[in-house]
Amino acid sequence: MNLQETYTALGLSDFEYDRILELMGRAPNYLELSLFSVMWSEHCGYKNSRPLLGRFPNSGPNVLQGPGENAGVVSLGDGWALAFKVESHNHPSAVEPYEGAATGVGGIIRDVLAMGARPVALLDSLRFGPLDEERNRYLFREVVRGIGGYGNAVGVPTVGGEVEFARSYSGNPLVNAMCVGLIRTEDLIRSRATGEGNLVVLIGSKTGRDGIHGATFASDELSEESEAKRSNVQVGDPFCEKMVIECCLKLLQERLLVSLQDLGAAGITSSASEMAAKGGVGIEIETEKVPLRESGMEPYEVMISESQERMLAIVEPEKLENVLDAAERYELVGAVIGRVATHGDLRVIHDGEVVGSVPAEHLADAPVYERDVRRPAYLDEVQKLDVVALPQPQDYNATLLRMLAHPNLCSRRSIFEQYDHEVGTDTVVAPGADAAVMRIKGTKLGFAVTTDGRGRHCYLDPRGGGAATVAEAYRNLSCVGAEPVAVTDCLNFGSPEKPDAYYQLAACVEGMAEACEALGTPVVSGNVSLYNETDAGAVYPTPVVGMVGVFGDVSRHATLGFKREGDEVVSLGRLWQPSLAGSDYLEIIHGKVAGAPVRPDLATDMFYCDLVRRLVTEGIVDTAHDVSGGGWLVALAEMALAGGIGIEVNEFLVGIISERRADVELFGELSGHFLIVAAPGRWDDLQNTLGEAQVPYDQVGAIGGDSVVVPGLVDVSLDELREAYDRDLFGAHDGSEAAG
């Protein structure tokens, strides 16, 4: 290959190569080009998204560490803190779904570990094409198997997540994994390298050729050639990862490490250059000292290998023996592979000869692109919706059953039963609720966590959808009674080089930022995954939000299932103003992805969320659920199924429904709407509190019986509902999947 072919094959543009020449003052060799190619990839360098990410608020009263480290950290109370982050492993999962998903879990665990935190909870956010296509069924099955296979074996519970299906994700699934870790605030560690002469120690597994140029691969569009890039996908070993976790936590407990960094995308290159750049120092790596699991690896391969289960530590020389002894006790590789220097370069040495040297600050500072923005022409067409022209259901029983049976609304039990959510014995509210709830042993404290994404909404209205994604997470945490404190995000979009796609990204970020500011939930960490498209087109713009909330007393939490016969269900919030625009009902029943969904009223949403949370915290309410996908009737059915008790809607509400269009009232969607039930003996307190707050509410009906009944419209037994709802998604290929 000639020079241009060489750097182009490494994912570098002409402009980027010219900039390298300017920065270096000379032509780089192949190894140095490889270092730039991985560090200046979108996956590592955020060169297309950095101009937008500054829009996010990053500070708040609970924030101990914002963006710029391996994970964000927020205070929990009494000296406890949570470290958390979400990341994508989309392209690896598209070509090797089991290992792609498994190593995505392993990587996000190490990000949290690098902050000094013990990983205590995992969540995921998944998107696939319709299950009537064999390839999509294969990807779905193997991704879930990979998440469970790694998480279960490493001993970190998978406590929550979400999954949706739509045509736009065919061939390009989205696989986002989130991890939460627990740490004492005084034990928080950063990844900055310091101290001339301090040693660079590799801890974990040996290095192989798996994952070479994985960061570059993750920053390309998928094509027919992508299948040939299976070698770019890492191979995980969760049992080794468990030893890495325990070893590193032991070393940190004994104050044996100066700093710690995981080896993920770009391997030793990213870890060493980022540690050096943050500390304003240089790092020298001697590649022949890196323990290898296969012979004949070139220095550039050693530097950019993305072999899993590896951590890079900076160690003072006098503490080295203790560090290596600990690694040996945990049956891990422990090897000195370099040293900290003052020259500011990432210097690669092989057999005593310098084979490459690049200033670390140049590697860690990828070029930034200001892309053209153009509002997509499709928006003018898809936002049109004539509800009057839509035929109304002839059989509302059948409509409800069809809604509940759809893969986007049915039970996720067939997924989360493959995950161990009880390991560690700290899970208070298990998967299937609005948010997972975890306790902190030996204290009253706890936390809740959720992942949410609204790809269809963001496709129809990027800015409104971005805000709605954050608002949905805020509502889910409020339903269980947790105070939302901070956000991590994963931005899954198409090619930023296309003005339409960049508009989607920019507009979604703006909407998310507005919501985070209004709701007081700063963004403390995150990930960007661009170029999510195939020859058939881009995925829906799909920002995913992971949000964490805290409990002062975790025993004061709510769940969504009905609990007692005779209790009255209360509808709280913006009732009877729903819309079919962009709704699940419109897509499932009418096969349309259309309309301009109503944007969330963030101030009103926050008011109702805070009110619900107060009611739960004070013990007045013990059952709560937000009205979201599928609308009001689907939410009622979910609560009935979760509790195993039916409900009959009262005549007053039936009268309101009958005066209007019933399908809009029953299945329309709008944010800021909750269904709540008073705890035993607290009905008067609930009424008094709502009256004092001067909020409108409606009594929906009394819990009881074995059916969900809306007199004159719906009368379906729980057995029928459960048969539809509890479908096995892994056997779902009957053509009922989302067509959008």
Give the residue numbers marked as catalytic: 43, 89
User: Cα-flanking dihedrals φ and ψ of residue 314, to 5°?
Assistant: -100, 125
Phi-psi sector, 213: left (phi>0), alpha (psi -120 to 50), beta: left
Number of Cβ within a 10 Å radius of residue 323: 22
Q: How far apart are CA 503 and CA 501, in angstroms?
A: 5
**End-to-end alpha-carbon separation of the chain, Å?**
43
* Inter-CA distances, 82 with 64, 250, 297, Å: 9, 19, 39
Q: Which residues contact 395 (CB under 8 A, 6 or more apart)?
A: none
Q: How far is CA 375 from the centre of its chain?
A: 27
Tokens representing 717 are: 């037994």
Q: Where are the alpha helices (DSSP H) in 383-442?
A: 396-405, 413-416
User: Cα-flanking dihedrals φ and ψ of residue 395, to 5°?
Assistant: -135, 100
Q: Please, are residues 338 and 192 in contact by the beta-carbon 8 Å criterion?
A: no
* 3-state secondary structure labels for all residues of 451-491: EEECHHHHHHCHHHHHHHHHHHHHHHHHHHCCEEEEEEEEE
Beta bridge partners of 74: 63, 82
Q: Which residues contact 369 (CB under 8 A, 6 or more apart)?
A: 47, 48, 51, 496
233 three-state secondary structure: coil
For the residues of 569-587, what is the DSSP string, one character each? EEEEESTT--B-TT-HHHH
Residue 223's identity, in one-letter code, is S
Beginning with the edge strand found earlier in the chain, give each strand of the sheet holding 118-128 in spatial order. Answer: 63-65, 72-77, 80-88, 174-184, 118-128, 158-165
Q: How far apart are CA 575 and CA 433, in angstroms?
A: 22
Q: Please, are residues 99 and 107 in contact by the beta-carbon 8 Å criterion?
A: no
Buried b (16+ CB within 10 A) or exposed e, 551-561: beebebbbbbb
Tokens representing 586 are: 């419109």
Place of tokens 């105070």: 483
Q: Among 723, 724, 725, 706, which Cα is nearest to 715's? A: 706
| Burial of 296: CB neighbours in 10 Å, binned 0-12, 13-18, 19+ | exposed
Q: Find the length of the chain.
A: 740
Tokens representing 394 are: 């002839």
Q: How far apart are CA 110 and CA 143, in angstroms?
A: 19
Q: How far apart are CA 672 and CA 607, in angstroms?
A: 9
For the residues of 10-72, what is the DSSP string, one character each? TT--HHHHHHHHHHHSS---HHHHHHHHHHTSHHHH-TTTHHHHTTS----TTEEE-BTBSSE
Helix (H) or strand (E) holding 154: helix 134-154
